[in-house]
Amino acid sequence: MRPPLVLFDLDNTLVDRQGTLASWVAGFVARHGLGEVEYEYVLGLVRERTYPATFEAIRARCDLSAPASELWDTYCRDIAAMVSCPAEVLDGLDELRAAGWRVGVATNGMADIQWAKLRATRIVDHVDGAYVSGEGEVRKPEAGHFALAAQRCGTALSDGGWMVGDNPVNDVGGGRAAGLHTIWIAHGRRPWDPSAPAPDHTVSCARAAVDLLLPGVSRLRGRT
């Protein structure tokens, strides 16, 4: 029997993407001499997911002279420098591994920005492996994404495992469809949509998910 597997989403699960983004947009707007209308516009565009093409739109709308590729590179550098993973969560990843878990990251997004964040936060040093959708063609909630993340951790989905994340569709729905138990990070502010299959557990933050998993590997493995 292989070690039990737990996969974590990255943005707004292991790191606070939304808080970081708001600060970054404020700085971007100030640097380029833009106003409140542009602040809302840029924040609206980058809120869910940001791609190099996002900066083509921003450049055109805000009349910026810098090429979109340069704006994207700066964005990647800035966000990687600003984002952080709480020490208690990094410790929790270590504790899970010490308790016999295989621990990984399964995240959607462009490979350059997601890997920059994984390295800058040192999450990469505290997990067995990570898979970013931009490395290939398979995105959450597709089951293949979770399979590739498991493979990066030196294991497979065939023994089951857990998926922890904040996105009801990508993390909970996708994880469930891939045969994983699920923990939803609700951040204490949103109700679950009753029309969707419920997660196995709902917690307020990543550390709470770690604490839920730590007490007994064998007990959690036996869940159906």
Under the rule (CB under 5 A), what is the footprint of Mg ion? Answer: 9, 11-12, 166-167
Distance (Å, whole) CA 150 – CA 103: 9
Question: Please, what sign has the CA dihedral across residues 111, 112, 115, 117?
Answer: negative
Distance (Å, whole) CA 71 – CA 146: 31
Distance (Å, whole) CA 30 – CA 124: 32
The structure tokens 């924040």 sit at: 43
CB of 31 to Mg ion, least distance (A): 27
CB of 107 to Mg ion, least distance (A): 7
CB of 44 to Mg ion, least distance (A): 18
CB of 96 to Mg ion, least distance (A): 19
For Mg ion, the closer of residues 11 and 38 by Cβ is: 11
| H or E element that contains 125 | none
For Mg ion, the closer of residues 114 and 155 by Cβ is: 114
Alpha-carbon distance values, 62 to 27, 47, 87, 209 (Å): 15, 17, 38, 41
For Mg ion, the closer of residues 29 and 174 by Cβ is: 174
For Mg ion, the closer of residues 32 and 49 by Cβ is: 49
* 209-218 b/e (C-beta count within 10 Å ≥ 16 → b): bbeebeeeee
CB of 60 to Mg ion, least distance (A): 28
For Mg ion, the closer of residues 166 and 200 by Cβ is: 166
Under DSSP, the state recorded for 196 is S
